[in-house]
Chains A and B, each alone.
Chain A
């Protein structure tokens, strides 16, 4: 289908077009949610080593004060989202299903929204080294969902050099629109964040890629571009998974990240718009990441929208605020294509939570349909953005040939985007098969 690229917007090959379901939330401004009575703050909200708590039970903390410090380079500190008292450090449920050590913070009644910690800093005066340190100190991670520490991503290894910063404003998952709102409401902060990221990585140019269903964001950002031409905005085709790093790089720059590799190998570093906008807001004030915008949506939600939520807010509290209904319900953290379903309503919103979806039985019905044999319709092959052969992989998985899957059919290039399962008319849970196959291969390698 690459021929169509000549006429349409830049894009990658394959992919799918699920209904976007963003119209309502994309149009409503971000609103702030009140503090819950208790915040649950997991120490491992990021990829890497969990943070080390620096407070003890009974301590009083103010909004913005660090409560845990980074444990080494691939780790970030955590700051108190509200003024209150530490109730303890306990094992609590998380989005990943496993319980993890979390700081319990009892929020004082009438606690202020004002951030009471942090010192203004002039970024221009900092060395690049100090800038990266400041980014780590802010506790920033990829807010698109990966939650990878930003300062690590923005530190380019000595032996590599990158020439382009790709700023990911695609938000290709259905329902989610928090990045969209950030672009519309905080374009200047985003531009600041992009500058910081360019300095930290030593890149001379930045490209913001936005799906063409958000032309208002494209226009807003174009109006806010610096005059020197170092930053540009590009509308790309609305297609899932346009927002995956590899696909967006391909769409914008025509470069392919080598299989098994990372973008810096081809001179690119990718950051999400939400992350950079938050960085642009926090760094000058010397504050830490204590709240984030999440999209709360889905047919079961009474007041869908984008909400600014203190980190550690239990999803049950969020749902009580927005109202929801439905008897057989599924709660998803993130988007419907890749976000995990959670069972515990005291699971907290963390740095990597981009959305909270409530799907009711009619919407999830298709998943309960029976699984038919693969009829070799080739839809999955035409959908897979990695150009794998999910049909064949699925058949191998059914025969438990997990090693062949990895060695001959590139199983490890699958990033579990879900496009294949989405289109499969036989309702074969291909992604689930692949996850299991990978897990078993990992286990056997260990």
Chain B
């Protein structure tokens, strides 16, 4: 028996492994977010670009800081902080002051992730924690919308973008007037719908020719990017599907019981942050249940909460809170939906 030169490995079963690991999944999520970010930049110009960069950098630096505080091990390579940064930037108004964006990034990673113990331990979606934080801290800035596709968007910043830290950002009204954009109302489709009863055209919602956060406006693009991930099995299709199902179901139910205020299903699905939330945030694996029944409940819960908040709540947009509530409910949902084990006699 020859071969003493070789090294014999002793490892545990299984000796083979499916291709793909966490890094690959995360990297693909980043790829899928890039077209959406690109569209936001094309739509809103320099301000959106600067916001994306600032927020993402802020997330990465915060993550690195906590690495250094904790294990010292560098977790930037797992891409999860990058995803949080891009997602967060996409949920903010395009002309959001950069310094506030940085604050949002810090809050997202510090409060949403590091506090819980890092990747995999967080209960809530970090991007949404960051967004909720700035929503509470800067209520005016987070609802200040600017027009899309104005001329000169690649040569100038919105005045609010470069606001100095801790000072009230300059009003954008005058600037918008100067831009002479036709019929810009400064309200998102959801606000128009809620407060003025105007329903934006579906085609405009699909293609993103509307006002809104940097990355929530083109429902169609988000859908395509989400589907790409789902087909590559980097995303659990069951979650966006059940969220959208929850929205449709609740809208339908409302039209039965409260036809006066019942929203249009298609409008509910394609407006606001629903698409981005359903495909990229609710589906964040860490905050969603792992049990099949749990996933169904979780998705439906988020979908219906979104509609309920939009219709009855004081806010125009409910997706963020719906997802955060879904995240928070996940441990409980999972507890009550443990799968029936093979060979277990029908549950008592």
Chain A interface (Cβ < 8 Å from any Cβ of B): 16, 18, 174, 246, 250, 256-261, 314, 316-317, 319-320, 326-332, 336-343, 345-346, 357, 359, 363-364, 366-367, 369, 372-378, 380-382, 385-389, 391-392, 409-410, 413, 416, 418, 421-423, 425-427, 429, 431-432, 435
Contacts of A423 in B (CB 8 A): 18
The 4 closest A-B pairs by CB, nearest first: A373-B120, A418-B14, A316-B1, A366-B17
Interface-facing stretch out of B4-12, B175-183, B220-228: B4-12
Nearest residue (CB) in A for B7 is: A328
| B residues contacting the other copy or chain, number (CB 8 A) | 48
**A373 adjacent to B1 (CB under 8 Å):** no
**A389 adjacent to B11 (CB under 8 Å):** no
Chain B interface main SS type: loop
Known: A366-B21, A376-B287. 15 other contacts (CB 8 A): A259-B344, A330-B15, A341-B9, A341-B12, A341-B15, A364-B15, A372-B21, A376-B288, A378-B236, A378-B288, A388-B339, A391-B290, A425-B20, A427-B22, A429-B12
Contacts of A410 in B (CB 8 A): 341, 344
Is B3 positioned at the interface, with any CB of A under 8 Å from its CB? Answer: yes
Interface residues of B in 1-51 (CB under 8 A from A): 1-3, 5-25
Offer 28 A-B interface pairs, CB within 8 angstroms, sorted by A.
Answer: A174-B16, A246-B342, A256-B342, A256-B343, A257-B343, A258-B343, A317-B1, A320-B1, A327-B6, A329-B9, A330-B10, A336-B14, A364-B15, A367-B15, A372-B22, A372-B120, A373-B121, A375-B120, A376-B286, A377-B25, A387-B342, A388-B339, A388-B341, A389-B338, A392-B338, A422-B17, A427-B17, A432-B12
Contacts of A327 in B (CB 8 A): 5-7
Q: Once bound together, how far apart are the Cα atoms of A345 and B4, in whole Å?
A: 10
**A329 adjacent to B6 (CB under 8 Å):** yes
Contacts of B15 in A (CB 8 A): 330, 332, 336-337, 339, 341, 357, 359, 363-364, 367
Find the residue from A342, A378, A409, A421 having the highest chain B CB count within 10 A: A378
Q: Select which of B14, B23, B25, B290 is within 8 A of A378 by beta carbon.
A: B290
CB distance from B80 to the nearest CB of A (A): 8
**A364 adjacent to B11 (CB under 8 Å):** yes
CB distance from A418 to the nearest CB of B (A): 3
Chain B interface (Cβ < 8 Å from any Cβ of A): 1-3, 5-25, 78, 118-121, 236, 285-292, 295, 334, 338-345
Q: Select which of B5, B16, B288, B339 is within 8 A of A18 by beta carbon.
A: B16
- CB within 8 Å for A381 and B343 given contacts A338-B14, A339-B15, A427-B17: no
**B18 adjacent to A341 (CB under 8 Å):** no
Nearest residue (CB) in A for B14 is: A418
**B236 adjacent to A375 (CB under 8 Å):** no
**A425 adjacent to B22 (CB under 8 Å):** yes
Q: Once bound together, how far apart are the Cα atoms of A374 and B117, in whole Å?
A: 12
Contacts of A369 in B (CB 8 A): 21
**A258 adjacent to B17 (CB under 8 Å):** no
Contacts of A257 in B (CB 8 A): 343
Nearest residue (CB) in B for A1 is: B292
